[in-house]
């Protein structure tokens, strides 16, 4: 049987795990009877998009994102429109998509998943022209993503530190959403678009979200009083926030959002500045991904 072409795209600065030896581990554990492999390293922001597009054009069968949700997102944006399979070795901070897909965090075990090459088709979602796989959000969520991107440390405690610091002074914003032809107006802390149930770090804002149903969960979050902040965090870990009056969830395949001005959107954990008018649209079963 002809070997498949597989490319590993490594983000050397994502997450909190050192990656100096990752190339050697790939060579050690990859099934070289099945694959001809290449290894590439990103050198700047969005480089993984360029690298993925190049390798798609060069006939790659599988491209593996080695990093966190942001790295996966870049690879996915390079794969869109192709049938090339996505593999994941999760070495980021939050690793939301990997958690949702139950991909192991140990490098050897993640490579063994790739060796078996069990593949499913999953939904992706567009925010205007940008694709996301797991989560996108506007409002407080996006502000924290922006601050976190510039923070000197990665990991959950850094994320929580930033969120706690910003929460007290953050004022909810007014959003106009058009869903299924109906215009609704909400004043919200944030509006999150959940393709998977993972908010990162094993927290969940939409525990019933499915990555295969052709729908995105539009999560409209009201601001919880400051003295209940710890309660809010607990509910995210317990996957129970949806049971409270602070969260409204609407399932749809398309939504239009009007904001007052261009601002940052959190796209799979990374802050991206996009036009004030947003068009969210599900691409049903558009991505082939390797899972356990």
Residue 198 CA to residue 195 CA, distance in Å, equals: 9
Nearest to 122 by CA among 85, 68, 91, 67: 85
Tens-digit pLDDT profile for the chain (292 aa)? 789 999 999 988 765 555 668 889 999 999 999 999 999 999 998 999 999 999 999 999 999 999 989 999 999 999 999 999 999 999 887 788 999 999 999 999 999 999 999 999 999 999 999 999 999 999 998 898 888 877 767 767 777 788 888 888 899 999 999 998 999 999 999 999 999 987 767 778 899 999 999 999 999 999 988 888 787 778 777 777 888 899 999 999 999 998 887 789 999 988 999 988 999 999 999 999 999 9
Q: Which residues in the chain are classed under CATH 3.40.50.10330?
A: 4-117
130-282: CATH topology? Tumour Suppressor Smad4 (2.60.200)
Q: Which residues in the chain are classed under CATH 2.60.200.40?
A: 130-282
Tell me if 129 sits within 8 A of 275, measured CB to CB. no
Report residue 40: phi and psi, to 5°.
-130, 145
Q: What is the CATH architecture assignment of 4-117? A: 3-Layer(aba) Sandwich (3.40)
Tell me if 84 sits within 8 A of 75, measured CB to CB. no
Taking the model in full, what pTM does it have?
Answer: 0.90
């Amino acid at each position: 049987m002809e070997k498949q072409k597989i490319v590993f795209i490594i983000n050397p600065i994502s997450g909190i795990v050192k990656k100096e030896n990752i190339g050697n581990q790939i060579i050690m554990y990859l099934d070289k009877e099945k694959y001809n492999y290449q290894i590439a390293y990103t050198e700047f922001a969005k480089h993984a998009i360029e690298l993925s597009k190049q390798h798609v054009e060069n006939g790659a069968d599988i491209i593996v994102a080695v990093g966190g949700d942001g790295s996966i997102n870049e690879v996915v944006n390079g794969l869109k429109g192709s049938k090339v399979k996505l593999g994941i070795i999760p070495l980021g901070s939050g690793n939301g998509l990997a958690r949702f897909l139950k991909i192991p965090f140990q490098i050897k075990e993640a490579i063994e998943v790739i060796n078996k090459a069990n593949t499913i088709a999953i939904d992706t979602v567009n925010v205007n022209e940008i694709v996301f796989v797991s989560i996108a959000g506007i409002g407080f969520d996006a502000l924290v993503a922006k601050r976190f991107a510039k923070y000197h440390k990665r990991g959950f405690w850094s994320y929580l530190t930033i969120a706690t610091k910003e929460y007290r002074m953050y004022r909810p914003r007014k959003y106009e959403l058009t869903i299924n032809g109906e215009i609704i107006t909400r004043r919200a802390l944030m509006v999150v678009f959940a393709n998977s149930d993972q908010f990162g770090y094993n927290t969940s804002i939409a525990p019933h979200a499915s990555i295969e149903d052709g729908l995105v969960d539009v999560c409209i979050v009201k601001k919880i009083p400051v003295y209940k902040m710890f309660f809010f965090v607990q509910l995210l870990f317990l996957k129970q926030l949806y049971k409270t009056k602070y969260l409204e969830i609407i399932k749809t395949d398309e939504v239009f959002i009007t904001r007052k001005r261009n601002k940052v959107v959190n796209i799979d954990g990374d802050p991206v500045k996009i036009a004030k008018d947003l068009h969210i649209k599900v691409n049903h079963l558009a991505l082939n991904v390797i899972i356990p």
